[in-house]
Structure 1
Amino acid sequence: MASAALAACGDAPDEEGKASEKNDFLPCILSDAGGFDDKSFNQLSYEGVQDAAEELGSEYKEFESKNENDYAGALEQFVAQGCDAIVTVGFALATATKESAAANPDIEYILIDDAADGGEDGKTFDGKPDQPNIKPILYDTAQAAFLAGYAAADYTKTGVVGTYGGQPFPTVTIFMDGFKQGVEHYAKTKGKDVKLIGWEGNDKGVFTGGFDANEKATNAAKQILDQNADVILPVGGPIYQGAITAIKDSGKDVALVGVDADFFETDPTTQDLVLTSILKNMKISTTEAVVQAGEGDLDFSPYVGTLENDGVGLAPFHNFESKVSDTLQAELDEVKKGIVDGSIPVESYLNQ
């Protein structure tokens, strides 16, 4: 089954109708159960591999997982089909990636959203992957989420904002931690009372138990909205679709905050709802890592995206530009400077 799902994509013909010169380097990418059309991190990583293959003049292979049972078999197929570099997308693939990397030291692995380091809880980060042929790509999204929390606290009319996640993995709760800190920073500096529901910290919050856009995702969002929240941050790929359903069912004026990608661009159905999005520039960092691997120059030290290196960021307000306060963007610019220079500390598992 894994073999049948693997796809190879070749170079497009040039203007004269002849195929461009091929590079025999073969990158491959394995999604998590969210799939490549999740409008989020799987899609961005997939586009990064596509861009890298085009730049290198090579083919690439892909496998879209349906569930966690696909991971090990798909990696075995990649090895059998001669993949030179394998991109695995998401912390859920960490164990399978480390096992495959240990068994195949001549293959280069690029693991997104996990340090490949330490315990299975994913909370250990010392900059030394368990296997020397794994390149971890990580994002300190707490920094960008801090800005989103500040913006949400400024925008709310009810004085209540909320968040919920798929499961309490560090790469999920890092968004919630940053969002919480941003809300608290706004309340403190402005002397205003803004309440955050759905996340208390230390794995205490509202979670759907998975990452599917199902009834559980809708009910979790409804639980937040029923407590008078008018800004909501769903963290976990497709679960934001449950929030859209809950918002529309509520009939209330509620703003959505996206994660990973700019939802306004990747999912036009959100354009009337999305206040902003917390960005991971995964497409660029994935492209760069695969190109480096193809050129024989991959640096295996972990990459950590931050506000300073543009690895994370905050999307424009788009349709909400006229709805936010006139001073908000300037305030966010100042807060960002403070985060970058360290005068405004933002805590996350990546900097403890």
Structure 2
Amino acid sequence: MTISTRTRLLGGLVAAGLVVALAGCASAPEESESSGAATGAAVAGFKPCMVSDAGGFDDKSFNQLGYEGLQKAAEELGVDFKAVESNSETDFAPNIDTLVNQNCTLIITVGFALAQAAGEAAKANPDIDFVSIDDPVDNDFDGKTDSPNIKPIIFDTAQAAFMAGYAASSFSEAKKVGTFGGMNFPTVSIFMDGFAQGVEYWNKEKGDNVQVVGWNRDTQDGSFTGGFDANQDAINTAQGIVDQGVDVLLPVGGPIYQSAASVIRGSGRDIALIGVDADVYETDPTVGDLLLTSIRKLIDVGVEDAVMAAGKGNFDATPFVGTLKNDGVGLAPFHDFESKVSPDLQGELDKIKAGIIDGSITVESYLNK
């Protein structure tokens, strides 16, 4: 399946009304008064499990968020869980099969790239429930999630990235901001394209001419490392963007932000970093001094809620789309940059958020085409 095919597929699912944005984002279950104690027994034999995408569970990003959501729910329910890491695409199906053979009753696949393997496994194992992060799993091209035992959890991160693009434009003195990604998956490019839309909105509102390096909205293509590892390819890609004079940089793809941070530190220039998925200021304090903000998607909350429901015998396959309206996506605080941004910026962002929610400001993504 090509990336462009799956992009159209995702958009078609939403347009067809299959993916229904919930009225409110699932909130984290309340902690019990005695720390670490389970709040309620799970159904007999419940065993939640997870397969990571490449990058591992210590990526300070979406794999880690998924793992933390699983860990917290398992602790609340008082059950054991199993998690296996994937190093490459060839690991996906074998890792899922391993969990099936270990009597897992709920299997969570973290990432767009696992959709094919997840769909096949769900069809072959109808008595096991599946949760798919970042993909609705329609490998049959029929506009429907492949099996009734799959719950998709996806995020319209373009909305939050739009706000980040506006904030980056406000902060930039060079009038150049940059972005690059791991691979041109829709779940990666949605950040980059939303970011570019936010820059365009800034330029329109302020009569400015901030440029975006690393992403072309017309071709829907840009700068990519070819993977999701913090390696020399990621360093080279980040260096290529920095060398073009940007003073804000958005890397999208798990730990590749670490390569971007090393390039920024070696540049001798004041360049702000923007994190993705988690509030990277909190997950990785070693880069906190570089972070303007982070574009968040609450994978941990989505996973925790799905595991809690399944653990109590209430698995619900209804797809969930995280948006600004239901707090499934959002922008992290400015933290150390609070005193460095314009005093008017937060108020402007609040108005933009309200406009996106009420529809007066349009943000395009594969989820609403």
Relative to the length of structure 2, the TM-score reads 0.87
2:134 to 113, 128, 144: 113
Is residue 181 of structure 2 the alignment partner of residue 165 of structure 1? yes
Q: How far is the alpha carbon of 1:77 from its aligned partner?
A: 1.5
Q: Distance in 1 between matches of 2:117 and 2:353?
A: 37
Q: Is the 8 A contact 1:89 1:113 kept in 2?
A: yes
One-letter amino acid matched to 1:67: S
Q: Which runs of 5+ in 1 are unaligned?
A: 1-13
Number of the residue aligned with 1:7: none
Is residue 91 of structure 2 the alignment partner of residue 70 of structure 1? yes
For the aligned residue pairs, the C-alpha RMSD in angstroms reads 1.8
Is residue 232 of structure 2 the alignment partner of residue 211 of structure 1? no
Number of the residue aligned with 2:306: 289
Is residue 218 of structure 2 the alignment partner of residue 197 of structure 1? no
Q: Is the 8 A contact 1:86 1:110 kept in 2?
A: yes
Is residue 296 of structure 2 the alignment partner of residue 279 of structure 1? yes
Residues matched between the structures, number: 332
Deviations along 1:290-327, one digit per CA (max 9) or x if unpaired, are 11111222221211000000000000000000000000
Distance 1:21 1:193, change over 3 A: closer
SS at structure 2 position matched to 1:237: coil
Is residue 77 of structure 2 the alignment partner of residue 61 of structure 1? no
Number of the residue aligned with 2:71: 50
Number of the residue aligned with 1:9: none
Q: Distance in 1 between matches of 2:41 and 2:126?
A: 29
Q: Detail structure 1 runs of 4+ shifted over 6 Å in the superposition.
A: none
Is residue 159 of structure 2 the alignment partner of residue 139 of structure 1? no
Number of the residue aligned with 1:176: 192
Number of the residue aligned with 1:221: 238
Q: Distance in 1 between matches of 2:327 and 2:235?
A: 32
Number of the residue aligned with 1:336: 353
Q: Distance in 1 between matches of 2:133 and 2:288?
A: 28
Q: Is the 8 A contact 2:109 2:133 kept in 1?
A: yes
Q: Distance in 2 between matches of 1:25 and 1:118?
A: 28
Number of the residue aligned with 1:187: 203
One-letter amino acid matched to 2:53: D
Q: Is the 8 A contact 1:164 1:233 kept in 2?
A: yes
One-letter amino acid matched to 1:136: P
1:298 to 315, 319, 325: 315
Q: Distance in 2 between matches of 1:188 and 1:114?
A: 33
Q: Is the 8 A contact 2:41 2:312 kept in 1?
A: no
Deviations along 1:28-72, one digit per CA (max 9) or x if unpaired, are 011111100000000010010011111222111111122222211
SS at structure 1 position matched to 2:68: helix
SS at structure 2 position matched to 1:271: helix
One-letter amino acid matched to 1:339: I
Residue pairs, 1:312-327, within 5 angstroms: 312-327=329-344
Q: Distance in 2 between matches of 1:160 and 1:66?
A: 35
Number of the residue aligned with 2:105: 84
Number of the residue aligned with 1:129: 145
Distance 1:107 1:195, change over 3 A: same
Q: Is the 8 A contact 2:214 2:222 kept in 1?
A: yes
Q: Is the 8 A contact 1:165 1:172 kept in 2?
A: yes
Q: Which runs of 5+ in 2 are unaligned?
A: 1-33
Q: Distance in 1 between matches of 2:200 and 2:156?
A: 19
Q: Is the 8 A contact 2:41 2:77 kept in 1?
A: no
SS at structure 1 position matched to 2:263: helix
Q: Is the 8 A contact 1:32 1:90 kept in 2?
A: yes
One-letter amino acid matched to 1:303: F
Is residue 272 of structure 2 the alignment partner of residue 260 of structure 1? no
SS at structure 1 position matched to 2:95: helix
Q: Is the 8 A contact 2:235 2:260 kept in 1?
A: yes
Q: How far is the alpha carbon of 1:83 from its aligned partner?
A: 0.6
SS at structure 2 position matched to 1:233: strand
Q: How far is the alpha carbon of 1:24 from its aligned partner?
A: 2.8
Deviations along 1:239-278, one digit per CA (max 9) or x if unpaired, are 1111111111111100000000011000011111010000
Q: Is the 8 A contact 1:91 1:114 kept in 2?
A: yes
Q: Is the 8 A contact 1:24 1:58 kept in 2?
A: no
Q: How far is the alpha carbon of 1:203 from its aligned partner?
A: 3.4
Q: Is the 8 A contact 2:119 2:138 kept in 1?
A: no
Q: Distance in 1 between matches of 2:68 and 2:131?
A: 15
Deviations along 1:158-191, one digit per CA (max 9) or x if unpaired, are 0000100111000000001100000000110011
Is residue 259 of structure 2 the alignment partner of residue 242 of structure 1? yes
Q: Is the 8 A contact 2:180 2:223 kept in 1?
A: yes
SS at structure 2 position matched to 1:101: helix
Q: Is the 8 A contact 2:59 2:254 kept in 1?
A: yes
